[in-house]
Structure 1
Amino acid sequence: MNILRPITIGGQEFKNRVLFPPLTTGYEDKDGTINEQSRAFYTRLAKGGVGYIVLGDVAPIPSFAVTPKLYDDSQIECFRKLADNVHAHGAKLGVQIFHPEYNSEVLNALFAAGKMEEVRSQLHHDMDHFVNEVMPETLDQIIDKMCACALRAQQAGVDVVSIHGDRLVGALCSPIMNTRSDEFGGSLENRTRFALMLVKAMKAAVPDMVIEYKLPVITPERGKGGVSIDEAPIFAQWLEQAGVDMLHVAQANHTGNMADTIPPMGVQPYCFFADITALVKSVVSIPVSTSGRIIDPAMSEELLNEGKADMVGIGRALLADPDWVNKTLAGRPQDIIRCIGCNEGCVDTVLNRSFIACVVNAENGFEAVRFITPAEQRKKVVVIGGGACWLRGCSCGCY
């Protein structure tokens, strides 16, 4: 199967074409440390056969969000432990670097000084404000901090730097969110200026690492942060020229509706971003990946066979069954526990300030302490009722 074939990206060989895309897991400690829970989760994915794993939302500065953080040398060691674990199973590790719209250390200092107006002015929690207020000199400082983060990732043994093209970068690129009148606003060339500056700086800072760029695309129905469908092929070519080794094409976000990018059952069709990905892939020579309700090997194989993508992002389906790849490799795709698209454990729990879990996988989120093993004595069991999904109050209709 093509999905199981190796692929070379930026001079590095990935053992297969299955990637675990960046998700906010909620597993990390409040200070951003990759703890045992987080390490066990990603290690389990690598053990299950995934070729490329990306940590989502790695911040290069302090922030209040419970995401991984890599802004100080003292944090390198926890990332090194994770990289070693993942590499032991033949997988590559990437970190998706993003910049939040505030720095918690600055805010805490202002708060301690009683400067509440300044606190309120900075703590918008909304890129709609920040993207149009941030000064050019601050953008230069942000690039420096993101490059410093990449250097720490390199020291930790991480293989790939994935630039988060949504968030601040995508907001600057956006024809909807960016209303600036300076050199960072207006035309597509101006709106993508920061993104291309960042890519070139990152390439210079860590020339031996693979540089990936998440390319969010605004569709007529969804998304605000990113570029339009017509602009995406042009921007993709500019990114390749700037030094990007791989593109990950995905639905743009910044709408406040998680269903736009992580659609539950019935909201979007399977493989819903494949055609837009194919449009981008047709104009570049570097590998292109995508994600979006791709849940089984047959769907993945079809995307590759039709030339719509070079790698396939499997997110929620790997939460449901981390052995997705190994079962495919063993010729047992029928044994894969399928994601039901309920979003009950993976999305709702994170929005409620908890951590990712899965209604069809009791190990998920508890990989360090729970282990599903065969029963010592085989029995025939009959389940009467709607099943675990119904018992948890899910409204997906799968029962």
Structure 2
Amino acid sequence: MSYKYQKLFEPMQIGNVTIKNRFAMAPMGPIGLGDAVGGFNQRGIDYYVERAKGGTGLIITGVCFVDNEVEPHEMPSTPSPTVNPVHFTRTAREMTERIHAYDAKVFLQLSAGFGRVAPPVNPDVQPVSASAIMNRWADIPCRALTKEEIRHIVKKFGEGAATAKNAGFDGIQIHAVHEGYLLDQFAISFFNNRTDEYGGSLENRLRFAREVLDEIKKTCGKDFVVTLRYSPKSFIKDWRVGGLPDEEFEEKGRDLPEGIETAKLLVQYGYDSLDVDVGCYDAWFWNHPPMYQKKGLYIPYAKAIKEVVNVPVICAGRMDNPDLALSALDDGACDMIGLGRPLLADADYVNKLRSGQIELIRPCLSCHEGCLGRMVHYGWLNCAVNPTCARERITELKPALKAKKIMIIGGGVAGCEAARVLSLRGHFPEVYEKGDRLGGNLIPGGMPDFKEDDHALATWYENTLKDLQVPVYFNVQITPDMVKAAKPDTVIVATGSTPNICILGNNDKVFTAEDVLLGRKNPGEQVVVLGGGLVGCELALWLRNNGKDVSIVEAEDSLLKLNAPLCFANSDMLLSLINYKKIKVYTDSKASRTTDQGVVIATKTGEQELKADSVVLAVGYSPENDLYNALKFEIEDIHLLGDARKVSNIMYAIWDAFEVASNI
């Protein structure tokens, strides 16, 4: 049988390992998935097994440290095969055997350490690096590793790999001559000013990575597969400053010509595959691309490497569009597609694609709120749009003891998620939406081209509720009397929020962000955006991309201050783009009144008039909970969800709805 995406499901070889299809789970930090003595906890085991169950051919775990002496790591941190090898084997063996049951393969990602990019959380431990350079996050000097410490780490790689092999792993991925981690700090001359055999020439700077490979092959046998996570270009404009797409700058890190020569050497040394991305912690929005980066952003770099090496090349980086993935294979850019966050959003991505259920693949928003942002701030890996990610066992849906008729008022993400979960559990939900489509704030929010996946999520809910045969009624304004007349067993009020309005005198030129995004109002050519939170900044960027002269006025002393915690990759790129696109920014400022020419703002230095055809409000939202307040003493089983309960983000609208709907 012919199938459009059949090539994505052809088997392939990495070394002596046969993989059933062309999909790999890209390595992502397993924070929260390890236990106090270096093993995988049950969450971690279930998390990886679920992606194998979903059809992914190769599972690559997140980073596991081989050394805890030269660079100590707090436990529980991530799994480590060298802390307690017997315990690691015991927990990992359960995972690898379950993964193999689904005809998937699994590689353990082993790390030499973070070096200068490790957050300095312990003041008593000086960060390390190839040389005495500054830490990425603070003005703290690193100390250079001694040769004895390098040899110690190399030996630990051999021990860790041997334990991994015994635990049933099919191979190793080395973390990494990529993203500016410790091995990369040795490999990049910008970071490495050593004068011994580990510094100077390219071959010397790669010596550490070569010795790691040699030690593993010596310990585990030459046929044991060892792959490498590799960045052929760093995008470092300066210390702690990354270069933007299409920006002209002098590369301070590894540029592509050296990246190509490096790749040739690494393969010559014996690495069995290269897993390609680009970027560095100084340009974090390349390694962890937010929605402001285009899809498939690593493809040109993977192709440049594929053209000069004779081993399989893996390419990740917003590769969730199957047409894009297929074109990358057809064009010879890579041999395998890496899916990271898309497999957090939908563990069944591969099986759904194989069976032609593309419209039921839940999209990743590239928001980083549930994954990287949550890892950094709370120590757990999760997903904004998938509440079960890394919580598979504790969020397993249980059938309803008694099927109930449930009335859901509001078709935003909270109402849709509640309806989905309730239907899966055997209840009979019905959704009533006052507008003409599902999605709520996803619809205006998804209007900028870089937010296209917001609309994709709204469409996914439409397709999913249709697949579940959940009745949805549009253009219906529900009143308290209508609810009481329907006599539902349970009521869920998810009526969303309304934009906050400022009275600035002549409001003929004052519009809401929603009005402008949806095209209901023409903002003109000169636009002042009031509010420098996420909505205001993204609106300003979109307007600027469309040729408008844009200013942002923010009452706080910096942009994005009220949206914490945002993932640094997202906030850093958004702020860099605002600066690069020459969007004018006025902080510590408030609009006081409109004028014929524009708007007057009050700043620390006095009043200032800004020319403007329009003033667009992005000053927050207020819960729309009148219906709930009218019913809360009338309906026994009633719940308030989403922005109607508390104005927040997409993640908490979905998560809260999942939690409540799971227990009705």
Is 1:228 the counterpart of 2:255? The answer is yes
Structure 1, residues 161-218: CA drift from partner, whole Å, max 9, x if none? Answer: 1111232111100121111122111221211121112212222222232110111233
Q: What residue number does 2:271 align with?
A: 244
Is 1:123 the counterpart of 2:173? The answer is no
Cα contact 2:57–2:104 (8 A) shared by 1: yes
Is 1:156 the counterpart of 2:167? The answer is yes
Is 1:49 the counterpart of 2:55? The answer is yes
Is 1:96 the counterpart of 2:96? The answer is no
Q: How does 1:380-395 map to 2 (within 5 A)?
A: 380-382=430-432, 385-386=440-441, 392-393=648-649
Q: What residue number does 1:106 align with?
A: none
Q: What residue number does 1:83 align with?
A: 96
Is 1:64 the counterpart of 2:74? The answer is yes
Structure 1, residues 59-105: CA drift from partner, whole Å, max 9, x if none? Answer: 11332161111103222111111111111111111111112268xxx
Change in 2 beyond 3 A, CA 1:307/1:124: same
Is 1:356 the counterpart of 2:381? The answer is yes
Q: What residue number does 2:426 align with?
A: 376
Change in 2 beyond 3 A, CA 1:148/1:295: same
Cα contact 1:61–1:70 (8 A) shared by 2: no
Q: Count matched residues.
A: 377
Change in 2 beyond 3 A, CA 1:293/1:225: farther
Secondary structure in 2 matching 1:80 = helix
Q: What residue number does 2:10 align with?
A: 5
- The 10-residue stretch of structure 1 (216-225 or 33-42) with the greater mean CA deviation from structure 2: 216-225
Deviation at 1:129, TM superposition (A): 3.8
Secondary structure in 1 matching 2:232 = strand
Cα contact 2:198–2:204 (8 A) shared by 1: yes
- The 10-residue stretch of structure 1 (301-310 or 65-74) with the greater mean CA deviation from structure 2: 65-74
Change in 2 beyond 3 A, CA 1:219/1:383: farther
| C-alpha distance in structure 2 between counterparts of 1:125 and 1:237, whole Å | 28
| C-alpha distance in structure 2 between counterparts of 1:393 and 1:290, whole Å | 30
Cα contact 1:28–1:67 (8 A) shared by 2: yes
Secondary structure in 1 matching 2:172 = strand
| C-alpha distance in structure 2 between counterparts of 1:76 and 1:228, whole Å | 40
Q: What amino acid sits opposite 1:123 in the alignment?
A: Q
Unaligned runs of 5+ in 1: 103-110, 112-118
- The 10-residue stretch of structure 1 (315-324 or 289-298) with the greater mean CA deviation from structure 2: 289-298
Deviation at 1:159, TM superposition (A): 0.4
Percent identity over paired residues: 28
Q: What amino acid sits opposite 1:261 in the alignment?
A: N
Q: What residue number does 2:503 align with?
A: none
Structure 1, residues 221-249: CA drift from partner, whole Å, max 9, x if none? Answer: 54999743111221212222211111111
- The 10-residue stretch of structure 1 (377-386 or 25-34) with the greater mean CA deviation from structure 2: 377-386
Q: How does 1:1-399 map to 2 (within 5 A)?
A: 1-26=6-31, 27-62=33-68, 63-64=73-74, 66-71=77-82, 72-74=84-86, 75-100=88-113, 120=124, 122-124=125-127, 129=132, 133-165=144-176, 166=178, 167-207=181-221, 208-220=223-235, 222=242, 227-255=254-282, 258-266=284-292, 268-372=293-397, 374-382=424-432, 385-386=440-441, 392-393=648-649
Deviation at 1:39, TM superposition (A): 0.6
| C-alpha distance in structure 2 between counterparts of 1:381 and 1:202, whole Å | 57
Change in 2 beyond 3 A, CA 1:260/1:126: farther
Change in 2 beyond 3 A, CA 1:199/1:172: same
Structure 1, residues 265-314: CA drift from partner, whole Å, max 9, x if none? Answer: 11x11111110110000011110011111122222111111110101110
What's the TM-score once normalised by structure 2's chain length?
Answer: 0.54
Cα contact 1:76–1:155 (8 A) shared by 2: yes
Structure 1, residues 3-45: CA drift from partner, whole Å, max 9, x if none? Answer: 1111011111101111111111322224332011111111110
| C-alpha distance in structure 1 between counterparts of 2:433 and 2:53, whole Å | 30
Change in 2 beyond 3 A, CA 1:247/1:227: same
Q: What residue number does 1:116 align with?
A: none
Change in 2 beyond 3 A, CA 1:382/1:95: farther
Cα contact 1:20–1:314 (8 A) shared by 2: yes
- The 10-residue stretch of structure 1 (226-235 or 72-81) with the greater mean CA deviation from structure 2: 226-235
Secondary structure in 2 matching 1:231 = helix
Change in 2 beyond 3 A, CA 1:101/1:262: closer
Cα contact 2:385–2:650 (8 A) shared by 1: no
- The 10-residue stretch of structure 1 (66-75 or 313-322) with the greater mean CA deviation from structure 2: 66-75
Q: What residue number does 2:510 align with?
A: none
Cα contact 2:317–2:338 (8 A) shared by 1: yes
Secondary structure in 2 matching 1:381 = strand
Deviation at 1:254, TM superposition (A): 3.0
| C-alpha distance in structure 1 between counterparts of 2:11 and 2:432, whole Å | 42
- The 10-residue stretch of structure 1 (319-328 or 228-237) with the greater mean CA deviation from structure 2: 228-237
Deviation at 1:219, TM superposition (A): 3.7
- CA radius of gyration, larger in: 2
Secondary structure in 2 matching 1:24 = coil
Query: Where is the strand percentage greater, Structure 1 or Structure 2?
Result: 2
Deviation at 1:148, TM superposition (A): 0.5
Cα contact 1:342–1:394 (8 A) shared by 2: no
Change in 2 beyond 3 A, CA 1:196/1:228: farther
Unaligned runs of 5+ in 2: 1-5, 116-121, 134-141, 237-241, 244-250, 398-420, 435-439, 443-640, 652-664
What's the TM-score once normalised by structure 1's chain length?
Answer: 0.87
Cα contact 1:60–1:98 (8 A) shared by 2: yes
Q: What amino acid sits opposite 1:259 in the alignment?
A: F
Q: What amino acid sits opposite 1:124 in the alignment?
A: P
| Higher RCO structure, 1 or 2 (CA under 8 Å, sep 6+) | 1
- The 10-residue stretch of structure 1 (140-149 or 381-390) with the greater mean CA deviation from structure 2: 381-390
Secondary structure in 2 matching 1:308 = coil
* CA RMSD after TM alignment: 2.5
Deviation at 1:389, TM superposition (A): 9.0
